[in-house]
């Protein structure tokens, strides 16, 4: 995908080059968005939005990083913005708060379509726990587990050092252990 | 015993996404992206859409509302003042028109040759 020739054509507004990039990167973008928002329609909406942004902003892409890194960055930012907007809509508005039934803050149940059948139940519990992590830990863990990216790739996307990314992932795992432990202890009672 | 079991579940759960396949976008994504781009382009060209977006900004909407309230208040205050002046004027013009200054029948008779 990292062909400078395709990027050059895209910068000139070539729709065929755009189609090639959409074809090659669509699942990468969709899977990343899905990992963060954990909602299929929202992930589809974000994916479309990412490619529209790619087409409109390609002239500002300075090619200092790989195109995939740039696309991951746009996807992560749009997915997080989408979540914040949804959160505002959910809690926002005095009238809404007065007249609507208070929704639970507990994340909704989500089945990732790529998870093996025998691990579906545990994966759903893990995905709910991931939603409770701080934002940066959540992004790093999702990119590592869902997209299988290396520490260095995650560091490039998050504009961190590799050391900072490693420590982010260690903290994410420790927090997940605590959340899951609490969850299973409650189930045991 | 319970604690060991819980620790085992926790580790299994953390590893449950290992080996998961990448989720795939629905077919014909490119068509939907191009349609969205066209729709956004058409929307951006429409001046009414731009005007609507500008007016629906909370700051603009509140400022507009405040302006309407102030204009209404100013009109009401000026009307009250006008009404007071008009009443005085109307009374004096009625007095002139119907010669209310003539207060007795003798005065009227004295006016005749």
Instruction: Quickly state the pLDDT bin for B113 (edges 50, 70, 90).
Output: low
* Interface contact flag, B9 A51, Cβ < 8 Å: no
* pLDDT number for residue B104: 60
* Interface contact flag, A30 B32, Cβ < 8 Å: no
User: For residue B100, is pLDDT > 70?
Assistant: no
> Does B97 lie at the interface with A, CB-CB under 8 angstroms?
no
* Interface contact flag, A27 B25, Cβ < 8 Å: yes
Question: Structure pTM?
Answer: 0.74
A13: left (phi over 0), alpha (psi -120 to 50) or beta: left
Q: How close B23 gets to chain A, by Cα (Å)? A: 5
Instruction: Quickly state the pLDDT bin for B11 (edges 50, 70, 90).
Output: very high
pLDDT digits (tens, 9 = 90+) for A59-92: 999 888 999 999 999 999 999 999 999 888 877 6
Tell me the mean pLDDT in the region B46-70. 83
Tell me the mean pLDDT in the region B44-56. 75
User: For residue A143, is pLDDT > 70?
Assistant: yes
User: For residue B13, is pLDDT > 90?
Assistant: yes
Proportion of chain A above pLDDT 90, given as a percent: 76
Tokens of A142: 């999702």
Chain B residues within an 8 Å CB radius of A71: none
> Does A122 lie at the interface with B, CB-CB under 8 angstroms?
yes
Burial-class residue A105 by CB neighbours within 10 Å (0-12, 13-18, 19+). exposed
| Among the partner residues A19, A27, A185, nearest to B22 by beta-carbon distance | A27
Q: For A23-88, give the DSSP string.
A: HHHHHHHHHHHHHHH--HHHHHHHHHHHHHHHHHHGGG--SSS-HHHHHHHHHHHHHHHHHHHHHH
- Non-local (6+) Cβ contacts of A6 within 8 A are A17, A20, A21
């Amino acid at each position: 995908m990292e062909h400078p020739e395709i990027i050059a054509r895209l910068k000139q507004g070539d729709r065929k080059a755009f189609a090639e990039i959409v074809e090659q990167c669509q699942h990468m973008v969709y899977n990343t968005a899905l990992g963060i928002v954990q909602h299929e329609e929202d992930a589809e909406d974000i994916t479309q939005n990412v490619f529209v942004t790619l087409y409109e902003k390609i002239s500002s892409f300075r090619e200092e990083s790989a195109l995939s890194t740039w696309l991951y960055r746009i996807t992560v930012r749009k997915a997080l913005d989408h979540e914040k907007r949804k959160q505002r809509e959910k809690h926002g508005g005095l009238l809404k708060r007065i007249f609507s039934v208070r929704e639970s803050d507990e994340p909704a149940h989500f089945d990732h379509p790529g998870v093996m059948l025998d691990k579906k139940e545990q994966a759903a519990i893990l995905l709910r726990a991931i939603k409770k992590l701080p934002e940066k830990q959540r992004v790093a863990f999702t990119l590592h587990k869902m997209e299988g990216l290396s520490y260095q790739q995650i560091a490039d996307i998050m504009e961190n050092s590799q050391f900072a990314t490693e420590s982010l992932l260690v903290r994410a795992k420790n927090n997940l252990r605590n959340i899951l432990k609490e969850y299973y202890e409650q189930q045991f009672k | 015993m319970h604690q060991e079991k819980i620790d085992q579940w926790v580790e299994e759960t953390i590893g449950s996404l290992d080996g998961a396949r990448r989720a795939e976008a629905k077919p014909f994504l490119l068509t939907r992206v191009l349609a969205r781009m066209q729709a956004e382009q058409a929307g951006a060209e429409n001046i009414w859409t731009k005007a609507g977006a500008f007016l629906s900004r909370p700051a603009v909407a509140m400022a507009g509302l405040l302006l309407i309230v102030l204009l209404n208040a100013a009109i009401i205050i000026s009307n009250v003042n006008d009404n007071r002046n008009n009443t005085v004027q109307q009374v004096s013009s009625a007095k002139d028109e119907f010669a209310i200054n003539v207060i007795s029948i003798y005065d009227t008779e004295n006016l005749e040759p």
